[in-house]
Amino acid sequence: MEVFKGSFTQQEPIPEAAIAAALRVMQSGRLHRYNTVPGEVAEAALLEEEFAAATGARYCLAVASGGYALACALRAVGVQPGDRVLTNAFTLAPVPGAIASLGAVPVFVGVTEGLVIDLDDLAAKADQARVLMLSHMRGHICDMAALMRLCDARGVTVIEDCAHTMGASWAGRQSGRWGAMGCYSTQTYKHMNSGEGGLLISDDPGLMARAVLLSGSYMLYDRHRAAPPPEAFAALRLVTPNVSGRMDNLRAAILRPQLQDLARQCARWNERYHVVEAGLDQTPGLTLIARPEAEGFVASSFQFLLLDWQPAAIRAVLSRCAARGVELKWFGAPDPVGFTSRYDSWTYAPSAPMPASDRVLNGILDMRLPLTFSLEDCAQIARIIRAEVSAVYQGDLSAPEGGARGD
């Protein structure tokens, strides 16, 4: 019986060029983004310029984390305490957390079997808020053209949470480039790794001027090379609070070489995804997630559904796979485990039950696909999942841990 020996949390080493760049910053001692000598351009400013060019955005701001980018964007578009903000029922805790951190109230919108926001539910709830924080959760992108038509018609401002979609697109247009602002993460498990970090993009000079001031520019916004012109700051500079969350030059130096290699890395993630997908195709009782032709996805993780399975059967799959070295996370557990919290987990954000979404959430299984996995590793993982899902579904209790039939 095969047992997988790899680690689902081990990332690739930081590239040598990034290590060398980080050493140069440390040797200079000038880690703070505004601590420069005459004629020097800060690493953070260069990263912003390069990321703006890579996404096609007019402006970019580098910040301390993806969660900070989300909260900064909310403040920039004018969300106030008590305001209601639409967001996905299927997302991770930093998204409703960013909303709640402003004293605003999350309004959860349902999820489809494609693991994207339910546009029908969004249409029904669009009159409850003037801002949508759209989470491209686990790299799944909805029909962005349809979503923007809906939101534009209802006067809803869209902020995109692109923590899982750096380098991804819909209909050839990059994620983060559809809404008013796009927010990215460079936390270790994302597509570029600086431990923690975030990036915020926009074409709107007023929104980005507010974001730069909010991040703690100390009136040094003229040192930003991917920021609006000075006149955009004139009316905002003394009325916008400093909520410090800048990215430092050390993390920016680590990220710049990774940005240059992003397209190749994204292709490698997708290779691994396709191997797992092929290995799980036609597995009895298991539903793969359909990827629309317009979705240019980047897959650093993999999800599948065990729709309408009993909890005991899903737990049997989890334990049997774990016994063979495959770590699956389940979004249907009544209590959060690690990152698997869901809309009804967050007691600071009361919500009404959503039975159609609960059916989907109860069936979602998730796993990381780090680039430290070889293609053969991915094939082996798929074989193990396929065998254990099939065994439980067919009621075969001879495999590890036993289980209950899923239907």
Topology adopted by domain 262-393: Aspartate Aminotransferase, domain 1 (3.90.1150)
Helix (H, G, I), strand (E, B) or coil at 87: strand
Three-state SS string over 270-295 comes to HHHHHHHHHHHCCCCCCEECCCCCCE
Q: What is the pLDDT of residue 396?
A: 60
CA distances from 315 to 1, 321, 339, 397 (A): 20, 10, 17, 14
Q: Is the dihedral of CA 116, 297, 331, 102 positive or negative?
A: negative
CB 43 within 8 A of CB 253: yes
Give the residue ranges of the chain where pLDDT is below 70: 396-407
Domain ranges of the chain: 16-260, 262-393
How far apart, in whole angstroms, are the C-alpha atoms of residue 168 and residue 87? 20
Q: What is the pLDDT of residue 399?
A: 38
CB 51 within 8 A of CB 59: no
How far apart, in whole angstroms, are the C-alpha atoms of residue 101 and residue 348? 10
| Assigned CATH class of 16-260 | alpha beta
HSE value, Cβ hemisphere, 13 Å, CA-based, for 43: 24
